[in-house]
Every structure is written in structure tokens, then in C-alpha cells.
Amino acid sequence: MTMAGQTINDRLLAARHSLAGQGLAKSVCKATTEECIGPKKKHLDYLVHCTNEPNVSIPHLANLLIERSQNANWVVVYKSLITTHHLMAYGNERFMQYLASSNSTFNLSSFLDKGTVQDGGMGVPGGRMGYDMSPFIRRYAKYLNEKSLSYRAMAFDFCKVKRGKEEGSLRNMNADKLLKTLPVLQAQLDGLLEFDCQSNDLTNGVINMSFMLLFRDLIRLFACYNDGIINLLEKYFDMNKKQARDALDLYKKFLVRMDRVGEFLKVAENVGIDKGDIPDLTKAPSSLLDALEQHLATLEGRKVSAANTPTQSSSSAFGTAAASSKFDTTNGIDEQLKAQVLAEEEAAMNQYKSKVSSPTSSGAAGAALTNPFLSSPPAAQAGQPIVDLFGAASAQPAAAAASAPQASATKASDDLLQLGNPFADMFEASGGNSGGNAAAAAGATGHAGDGAAATEYDGTGSPFDWGATDDDGGAAN
């Protein structure tokens, strides 16, 4: 039985708090009633105001909400989580600080509203819906715990830090701190994406309100994440070997999360959120990742795998030999290795001569025509760079944002050339394809800043305020 939308339990609990003079507890009770609708704006606004009052105990407020989350009714539990999330986003930072510094976390990993299942869903508001909503309550509580943990680790809220090229916190962070910060941000983003709801799951006002709060956090988190990745790419070619290895791993994880973020945004679009408020994610070209991996291989002294070269498809010894940079005599070759290679070359040459017969293939001239190892490179290619993975002198800095230092590209190119060019014979053999591949390589140099993700937001037209603080919770409702 309900009265004006509220249950008798809600009325009795509010009256008890009034008699006891517990105004704050009554307000928390009003925001977390058993009504199957989101917390009312007037109650949320009052609680936000309470967080700014010096005579209000933040620990007491937080503990009241955590106590309500232990209720057996899924609606009460869910609304206590929503109220907590709203205060994290729009309340005084003291509230977030307390949650992060204390052990007051939501222990709802095994929550299940069994009452609605046992009575067939007829005697409890929401019916059987409680059983269906229980997984989302568990995931939502996990995200709020992750949000508190990230604040504890970083001493700031990723959703409230400044963003952008000029004043962005992660955009201007040094390499060491950036490599420690991005994993924390990734963990919080993963907790949000694990909410994993579809448009047909958003069937009531409670879960709809939580989804809007999560959508707001996702947009801000990913904008911050994108700033960090752009900064990472700008510094990549100046990093040492260990830093570059960690940075490459972070970039690969970023690409995976882009796909998951895109799926979340599709759900948001399907439930009616304006397309103008949903960012268009643009992936970097695959050649960017290839260039980053090539640079790391250079730092580690590894050779390029022959499986990545077109010449590997040949079953003869010529394909394997052409893919090796050890035939670059300008860098010096070990005598024993040289003898072994020459022996393999001679055996391959004998086999080749037994299959091919031509009137012009006799003597030294014939050998020069049929043996790619004895022939000198064509004059047209002798003075021309065959492969330039990291951009020529006139190109933009390689595999980084548009603002990456030119010195980084030059240094990367020098490192590559000092080890020899394993792609030289490959591109010589492919002929006309060299231009297309060079263009693909050049594509890796000019899109790093834009390609990380086209998410440079200014907040225009969005219902969410992009500022460091948000005092009005109306948009989330």
C-alpha cells in the first residue's frame, strides 16, 4: 500500500527521524524511498547543499547512505548508490575525500533482491524487476568503489580535472607521472564499462538515472584519457626502452577501450540522447601502431620479423636473404656469418641455374642479371631513401601528435638507419608498391595527435558542464 507514491515504510521511517530530530537522516530517507523512480531533484539539491555546510558531518552523511545500501529492497539500494554518485559529482569535495580516505565502501558484490522472486513479484514495488536489476546494482557499486580508489591513488577526480591542449592536467604531465596515472584511469574506466547495459535494460526511472550519471562520467573520463594518450605519443620517441614498452602497452589497451566506449555510446544514442552530445570517435590508422612497434624493436635491438615482409611468401632462399639487414656491408659483417651466408647463396644459386637457362646468363654479366645479391642497386634508387617509417625531414614528427618535437622524428630515423634498412630489398622487389607503402608510412606520421581519438571537446551544446566543478545536478536527472 502506498500513499502519494511513497510506501507506508517510507512514511514511518521519515516520521521517526523527524521525532528524533535527525534532519539529515530524514533527507537521506527521502532521497532513497521505495518509489520506483529516481531520487527527486529537490532532495538531491538539499544534500548537495549539506555537503557545503561546515556544521554538517560528512562522515555521518556518507555512513547514512552506506547504511541505506544494506537494505533488502533493490530500489532503496539503487537510489542510495545514485545519491552517492550525485554527491561525488556535484557535492563538496570533502565528501569524495572522506569516501576515498576511509574504508567506507559499498560491499554489494553478492547483492540479490530475493524478496521479489519469492513472492512472485506481486507484493514489492517493482515486481520481479528487482531480480533483473540486481546485477546492475552490483556493477554500479563496483564502479563507485573504483572511483573512490582512483581518487585515493591520485588525490584528484579524473572527471573534474582540466582538459585541453593548453591547461589539461594529463596533456602537460611528465612521462614518469603519466605512465603511473594512465593505469589508474584505465581501471576506473573499466569499472564504468563493466556496467554493460543495453537499451532494453533501461526500463525504469532508477536505472535510467544511473545510466545518465555514468554517461556523464564516461564522456569526461574519455576526454581526459584521450589527453593522456596524446601526451604519451608526443613523448614516446624520447622515452627509454622500459618507458617505451609500457607506453606501447598502454596505447594498445587504449585502442581496445575505444571499441568498448563506442558500444556504450551506441546504447546512449539508442535511448534518445542527442547525437550532438555524443562524441564521434575516430581511430588512428593502423600504421601508427606499426611505427610505434618498429621504434620499440629498434630500442630493444630486435630485428623485424620476416613474417611481416612480402618476401616471406617466396619459398626460395632469396626471400629469406632479401629480408635480412645483415647484408648491409656498410655496417660490417662477422666473417663467420659472412662465409655461412655466401655458402647458402652459392647453393641457392646452383639450384636456380639448374632451373633457368638463358643465352644472356653466362659469365659475370649473366650472374649480375640473375643473382640479386651480385647485382648493384639501380642508379635511380641508389641516392633515394627506400623506406622512411618515421617521416622525411620535411614531414611532421613521426607517430606522435602534431605538436611532437621534430627532434624526436630525426632521432628515431637515425636509430633505424644505423641498424640498416631491412625493407630495402623488399621494396625494390615490389616495384610500384613502394609508393603506396611509403604513403602508408607517412600516414603514421601526421595523425598521431588527431588519431588518438577525435575527442577534443569544448562542451558546446552538451547538457553536461565541462568545468572543473558542477553545482547544478539538473542535467543528470
Residue 54 DSSP code: T
71 strand-pairing partners: none
Identify the burial level of 242 via C-beta atoms within 10 angstroms of its C-beta, where 0-12 means exposed, 13-18 middle and 19 or more buried: exposed
Q: Residue 380 domain-assigned? A: no
- Which residue, 232, 241, 239, is CA-closest to 173? 232
Write down which residue in 265, 281, 297 finishes a domain. Answer: 281
Find the Cα–Cα–Cα–Cα dihedral 205, 267, 274, 472, rounded to 10°.
50
Q: Residue 20 domain-assigned? A: yes
Mean pLDDT of the 302-307 span: 57
What three-state secondary structure class fits 144? helix
For residues 165 and 112, state if they share a domain: no
For residues 130 and 192, state if they share a domain: no
Residue 304 · residue 422 · CB < 8 Å? yes
One DSSP character per residue, 62-125 reads: HHHHHHHTT-SSHHHHHHHHHHHHHHHHHS-HHHHHHHHHSS-----TT----HHHHTTTSSST
Q: How confident is the model at residue 102 (pLDDT cuts 50, 70, 90)?
A: confident
For residues 91 and 226, state if they share a domain: no
- Mean pLDDT of all residues belonging to the chain: 72
Q: Residue 358 domain-assigned? A: no
Whether pLDDT at 55 is above 70: yes
Write down which residue in 258, 281, 304 finishes a domain. Answer: 281
For residues 300 and 258, state if they share a domain: no
Q: Going by DSSP bridges, is the β-strand pair 2-3/6-7 parallel, antiparallel, or unpaired? A: antiparallel
Domain with 293, as residue range(s), is 289-344+386-451
For residues 125 and 50, state if they share a domain: yes
Task: Find cell 552530445 and name the residue.
Answer: 277
Residues 181-216: tens digit of each pLDDT: 999 999 999 999 999 999 999 989 999 999 999 999
Where does 306-465 have alpha helices with state H?
317-322, 335-355, 363-370, 379-382, 406-418, 424-430, 433-446, 448-451
Please tell me the distance from the alpha carbon of residue 154 to that of residue 239, in angstroms, as a whole number: 23
Please tell me the distance from the alpha carbon of residue 356 to that of residue 371, in angstroms, as a whole number: 12
**What pLDDT does residue 164 have?**
84
Cα-flanking dihedrals φ and ψ of residue 6, to 5°?
A: -100, 150
Q: Residue 215 domain-assigned? A: yes
Please tell me the distance from the alpha carbon of residue 169 to that of residue 163, in angstroms, as a whole number: 6
Task: State the pTM of this model.
Answer: 0.62
Q: Residue 409 domain-assigned? A: yes
User: In the structure grid, which three cell numbers stand for residue 315, read together?
Assistant: 619459398
Residues 128-175: tens digit of each pLDDT: 688 899 999 999 999 999 999 999 999 999 999 998 888 889 999 999
Whether pLDDT at 247 is above 90: yes
Of 424 and 263, the structure prediction assigns the larger pLDDT to 263
Whether pLDDT at 48 is above 90: yes
For residues 311 and 257, state if they share a domain: no
For residues 67 and 115, state if they share a domain: yes
- Whole-angstrom CA distances from 397 to 32, 239, 384 are 55, 15, 20
User: In the structure grid, which three cell numbers stand for residue 52, read together?
Assistant: 557545503
Q: Residue 470 domain-assigned? A: no
For residues 67 and 193, state if they share a domain: no
Amino acid at 474: G
**What pLDDT does residue 284 have?**
77
Q: How confident is the model at residue 5 (pLDDT cuts 50, 70, 90)?
A: low
For residues 103 and 197, state if they share a domain: no
For residues 424 and 293, state if they share a domain: yes
Cα-flanking dihedrals φ and ψ of residue 2, to 5°?
A: -125, 155
Of 425 and 225, the structure prediction assigns the larger pLDDT to 225
Please tell me the distance from the alpha carbon of residue 233 to that of residue 142, in angstroms, as a whole number: 31
Please tell me the distance from the alpha carbon of residue 412 to that of residue 423, in angstroms, as a whole number: 16
User: In the structure grid, which three cell numbers stand for residue 355, read together?
Assistant: 632451373
Residue 271 DSSP code: T
For residues 186 and 260, state if they share a domain: yes
Overall domain count for the chain: 3
Q: How confident is the model at residue 436 (pLDDT cuts 50, 70, 90)?
A: very low
User: In the structure grid, which three cell numbers stand for residue 114, read together?
Assistant: 530475493
Task: Find cell 609500457 and name the residue.
Answer: 246
For residues 439 and 301, state if they share a domain: yes
Mean pLDDT of the 19-42 span: 86
The CATH number assigned to the domain holding 134 equals: 1.25.40.90
Q: Residue 362 domain-assigned? A: no
User: In the structure grid, which three cell numbers stand for residue 320, read together?
Assistant: 629469406
Q: Residue 183 domain-assigned? A: yes
The CATH number assigned to the domain holding 224 equals: 1.20.58.150
Residues 404-423: tens digit of each pLDDT: 444 444 444 344 334 444 44
